[in-house]
Amino acid sequence: MPQPIPLLINPKAGSLFRSGLKAWLDDHHDAFRAVPTRSAEDLTCKARELAESGEPVVAAAGGDGTLMGAAQGLIGTGAALGILPCGTMNVLARELGIGSRKFDIALEAIQGTKRQEIDIFTVNGKPFLQVAGFGPDARAIELITPKLKKHMGAAAHVVTGLKVAMERLPLITMTMPDGEILKGTQIIMGNGKRYGGEAHLFADATIDDGRLDAAVIDQESLGILFEVMGLIVSKGATRHNVSDFTKLCRIKSCTITADGKLPYHLDGDYAGTLEPGDELRIERLPERLKVCVPGIPAPMTPIDKMMAHPLITALRDKLQSISEM
């Protein structure tokens, strides 16, 4: 019988119950050894301690933010990250072919032998796994309160997005190492194809090619929204389907400045606000992260894709929370 795999977990996380993971773990308790965590910092420390003690695989239960915390402890150790995706979006798990809340496939990946090394990029030293956004999308995330997120889930972005549409947008300048400059009011960088759930924003991006795909959009708030939606409907941006308002490029590093306060997010979590006169440096870490991936990626039917929409996910979680009252 395989040895139980250490599983980093927040026992108080509501997502464990809403996603069905708690019940699933009760039926698979022999596969894991629960390692409770108290905070993001504690999760990172325990991930590194487990890796340094010789664990070949350290699993984490949660969404993209939780996975990033675990990844920070595992980068450079040789231990692989196992993923039990029970968050709202689960973008990284979808990108790796595990899918969202598909725990049987996740277990097959964790107990299997297939591993993939993925790039990790940083913004002023803060790492992210999949997506970084600079501008209105980050401002909308910044405005989401814990209460709003609890009651509305992913749909909270709609409420805060309407507020952001009334605000002035700073002009963002992205400078390449060779001196090339691009300007816009929204910049989105992707280490993979997906941007929220199953939506593809970058058609040709891969998570292990050493580069980020970046879309620089020069529009007002509503124009940015329609631009992003258009690229998603097109199944991702390519050089052939972007409008005159959007520039698409691939980068290994760059710097970002702005003429006003510029919020930014990493993997869907608000990460900070750049002040005028300061700069953000985007770079790739020399080490890669090893992750457990399934031998055969999880299939996505049209129904699966519809059910993966953030609004559908938010409604499903709301109904689940009501039924638990």
**Arithmetic mean of pLDDT over the chain:** 88
**What is the tens place of the pLDDT at every residue in 192-243?**
999 878 889 999 999 999 999 999 999 998 889 889 989 988 889 998 889 9
pLDDT for the residue numbered 35: 96
Closest Cα to residue 64, out of 163, 160, 133? Answer: 133
**What is the tens place of the pLDDT at every residue in 39-87?**
989 999 999 999 999 999 999 999 898 999 999 999 989 999 999 999 8
> What's CA 152's distance to the chain center, in Å?
19
pLDDT for the residue numbered 303: 46
Q: Which domains does the chain have, with CATH numbers?
A: 5-119+287-323 (3.40.50.10330), 123-284 (2.60.200.40)
Instruction: Band the pLDDT of 111: cuts 50, 70, 90.
Output: very high
Q: What's the predicted TM-score (pTM) here?
A: 0.85
Distance CA 64, CA 130 (A): 9
Q: How far is CA 116 from CA 130, 207, 308, in A?
A: 15, 10, 24
Return the bridge partners of 82, or none: 59
**What is the tens place of the pLDDT at every residue in 261-315?**
999 999 988 999 999 999 999 999 999 999 999 988 776 555 455 445 554 455 5
pLDDT for the residue numbered 324: 46
